[in-house]
Amino acid sequence: MSVDGVQMVETNILAAEVLTAIIGLPEAQRETLVLVYGEGYSYAEAARALGIPIGTVMSRLAAARSSLARLKEGS
Amino acid sequence: MSPEDAELVGLIDNELDEDAKRRVLMRLAEDEALRKRYEALRDIGPSITASFKALLEKAPSSRLRAAIPPEVAPRATYWPFAGITLRGLAAGFAIGLLAAGAAAWVALSFAPHEGKEDWQAAVVEYMELYTNETFAFDDIIDPSVEAKKLNAIGQRVGATLTPEDLAVPGLRFKMAQMLSYDGVPLAEMAYVDGQGAPVLFCIIANGGADAPTRSERRGDYSLTSWSHAGRSYLVVGRLPEQQTTDLARTLEKRFSKS
């Protein structure tokens, strides 16, 4: 299998774990993550939809990514 | 999470303005620890995307759409996966799906819609392809040919189909066609309302036990179904629920004879 192929398989395996981890995130982080990465909202759109400042969108996404990144570090 | 993580994520998502972007890039050039942090936050991105993609590819789209509360208006299509979108499923529902710990997912996957009622989900899904133009050119040219066609289709599902029995107030009959669900004959009669919006009346010879009319909303659609003499019936359309109920009662009276 090529390096790209191995990476794809790893990504897919991790995706299942990531989805489980997303479900376990605090609600505020989870809803922001869904809007931006699941639905393709821009930060500004997500901020409007959630009624929060863009900075809060950024910090929520950073916190969520940080939690999820630990999965990869541990795998 | 460090205070800089938000800016790193903003950079990854290409959401920083030029000044902020330049500032973060300069810091990254100087700080190896920050670069490693950036890489860790960046590298989880494909798995997040893949997880949402997998969620949607496995989604029973019609059932999920049908589960969207009517008050949650669908948004414009944005990010297509497997023909549907999270945005299409409506943000509120998508968030709710995850927020409920995928409980809704499990419930939708294994509850009563599976099995004998799954054909209704298939009809709704099929119907989503229809537009107000779908039957615009399907006017009946020769009533005698149409009557023969109805008779043949009726025989396949064990029902007597005549133009008279299929005529209903407020809708114009456009065509009938023979379909199949899981190998079981499924007759679909298509109508349009005054605006050309399709309304379907379906009969499937699935051997279902007798059941009284039952109405429900699935997303934009109202469905009224019942079963009689080994056949299940469904009236479905983007109509007020009361209208499909009334249509179903009219048709039920006629088809309970056969």
| B211 close to B194: Cβ distance less than 8 angstroms | no
What number is the average pLDDT over the span A51-65?
Answer: 94
For residue B140, with 0-12 CB atoms within 10 Å meaning exposed, 13-18 middle and 19 or more buried, which class applies? middle
Question: What interface predicted TM-score (ipTM) does this complex get?
Answer: 0.83
What number is the average pLDDT over the span B104-127?
Answer: 59
Query: For residue B233, what are the β-bridge partners?
Result: B203, B226
Please check the confidence at residue B252 and state whether its pLDDT lies above 50.
yes
At residue B95, the pLDDT reads: 47
At residue B53, the pLDDT reads: 76
Q: Which amino acid is at B118?
A: D
Task: Record the tokens describing residue B161, joined without a space.
Answer: 């189909």
Domain A3-74 has CATH 3.40.630.30: no
Q: What chain A residue is nearest to B10 in terms of C-alpha separation?
A: A58
Same domain, B119 and B105: no
Is residue A4 less than 8 Å (CB to CB) from chain B? no
**Residue B201 is inside which H or E element, if any?**
strand B198-204
List the single best residue of A4, A7, A11, A72 to mutate versus B (max B Cβ within 10 A): A11
The answer to whether A23 contacts B101, with C-beta atoms less than 8 Å apart, is yes
Is residue A23 less than 8 Å (CB to CB) from chain B? yes
Same domain, B119 and B81: no
Same domain, B126 and B238: yes
Please check the confidence at residue A3 and state whether its pLDDT lies above 50.
no
In chain B, the number of structural domains is 3
Same domain, B121 and B201: yes
Evaluate whether residue B85 is within a structural domain.
yes
Evaluate whether residue B181 is within a structural domain.
yes
CB neighbours of A56 closer than 8 A, spacing ≥ 6? A47
The structure tokens 């790209």 sit at A4
The whole-angstrom distance between B18's CA and the closest CA on chain A is 16
**CATH number, position B122:** 3.30.200.100
| Structural domain harbouring B26 | 5-43
At residue B217, the pLDDT reads: 87
Q: What chain B residue is nearest to A36 in terms of C-alpha separation?
A: B13
Evaluate whether residue B51 is within a structural domain.
no
| B81 close to B53: Cβ distance less than 8 angstroms | yes
pLDDT band at B83 (very low <50, low <70, confident <90, very high): very low
Same domain, B93 and B67: yes
Give the mean pLDDT of chain B: 77
**Residues B253, B248: Cα–Cα separation, whole Å:** 9
Q: How many residues does chain B have?
A: 258
The answer to whether B41 contacts A66, with C-beta atoms less than 8 Å apart, is yes
% of chain A residues with pLDDT over 70 = 73
pTM over 0.80: no
**CB environment B55-66: b (16+ within 10 A), e (fewer):** bbeebbbbbbbb
The domain spans of chain A are 3-74
Evaluate whether residue B16 is within a structural domain.
yes
Same domain, B38 and B61: no
The answer to whether A37 contacts B78, with C-beta atoms less than 8 Å apart, is no
Same domain, B205 and B231: yes
Evaluate whether residue B176 is within a structural domain.
yes
CB neighbours of A37 closer than 8 A, spacing ≥ 6? B45, B48, B49, B52
Evaluate whether residue B104 is within a structural domain.
yes
Q: Of A3 and B195, which is predicted with more confidence?
A: B195
Nearest to B54 among A15, A39, A58 (CB): A15
Query: For residue A58, what are the β-bridge partners?
Result: none
Task: Record the tokens describing residue B187, joined without a space.
Answer: 């007759």
What number is the average pLDDT over the span B96-120?
Answer: 47
| B243 close to B235: Cβ distance less than 8 angstroms | no
At residue B257, the pLDDT reads: 67
Same domain, B184 and B222: yes
Alpha helices in chain B (DSSP H): 5-12, 18-30, 32-43, 45-57, 61-67, 91-99, 103-110, 118-127, 143-157, 163-166, 241-255
